[in-house]
């Protein structure tokens, strides 16, 4: 179940953060605080904000759209939440395929970041600091081991991103934030 949930949210986060960088976090409130923020600041805030609207029930992840719209979150957060729920639905109905969500025009970062990307069985080099963190996680992660089996691997990746974020290229900070948020939330279920 954890593998399913992990894949659902990571896929959604990658799709959103790679394809939809914007400058608006909230229609009111937080937007004033980061009005002049960088894309990295904004993607970090959007990821943090999304966590407040995700609901886990069994093997499904739901997005509380009504509460999010009532709170006037940005369209980007709404889109990301709906994508998370759609991927979760596909997983629960066993209709999920990576090709449905990962189109050729939407890159997966490096050789190791993203569901099912292990650098061609660890034969490819890492491309940057973030990709190194993903490779470390891939070598530690036990696929199909069940809820709670990868807590330490997930914690290590979150800590790695927090420590090494300052050395990551600016164009990958959104991806790094998406990965961090995902493993801080869904990746910590059962830990």
Greatest CA separation found in the chain? 48
146, pLDDT greater than 90? no
107, pLDDT greater than 90? no
Q: Are 112 and 118 contacting, i.e. CB atoms less than 8 angstroms apart?
A: yes
User: What pLDDT, on the 0 to 100 scale, is given for residue 69?
Assistant: 96
Backbone angles phi, psi at 165, to 5 degrees: -55, -40
User: What pLDDT, on the 0 to 100 scale, is given for residue 139?
Assistant: 95
More confidently predicted of 125 and 98:
125
35, pLDDT greater than 70? no
Q: Give the residue carrying structure tokens 């490096």.
A: 110
Q: What are the beta bridge partners of residue 104? A: none
Look up residue 147 and give its two tokens: 């809820």
Overall average pLDDT of the 71-83 stretch = 85
User: What pLDDT, on the 0 to 100 scale, is given for residue 24?
Assistant: 32
Overall average pLDDT of the 101-109 stretch = 50
- CB within 8 Å of 98: residues ≥ 6 apart: 11, 115, 116
* 11-20, 73-82, 150-159, 165-174: least confident range: 11-20
159, pLDDT greater than 70? yes
What's the pTM?
Answer: 0.59
């Amino acid at each position: 179940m954890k593998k399913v949930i992990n894949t659902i949210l990571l896929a959604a986060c990658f799709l959103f953060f790679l394809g939809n960088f914007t400058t608006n976090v909230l229609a009111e409130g937080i937007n004033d605080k980061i009005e002049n923020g960088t894309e990295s600041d904004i993607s970090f805030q959007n990821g943090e904000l999304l966590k407040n609207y995700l609901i886990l029930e069994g093997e499904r992840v739901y997005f509380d759209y009504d509460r999010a719209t009532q709170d006037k979150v940005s369209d980007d957060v709404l889109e990301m939440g709906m994508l998370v729920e759609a991927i979760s639905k596909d997983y629960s109905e066993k209709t999920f395929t990576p090709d449905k969500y990962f189109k050729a025009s939407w890159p997966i970062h490096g050789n190791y970041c993203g569901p099912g990307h292990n650098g061609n069985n660890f034969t490819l080099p890492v491309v940057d600091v973030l990709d190194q963190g993903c490779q470390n996680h891939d070598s530690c992660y036990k696929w199909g081991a069940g809820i709670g089996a990868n807590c330490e691997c997930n914690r290590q990746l979150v800590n790695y991103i927090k420590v090494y974020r300052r050395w990551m290229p600016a164009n990958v900070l959104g991806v790094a934030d998406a990965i961090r948020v995902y493993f801080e939330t869904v990746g910590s279920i059962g830990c």
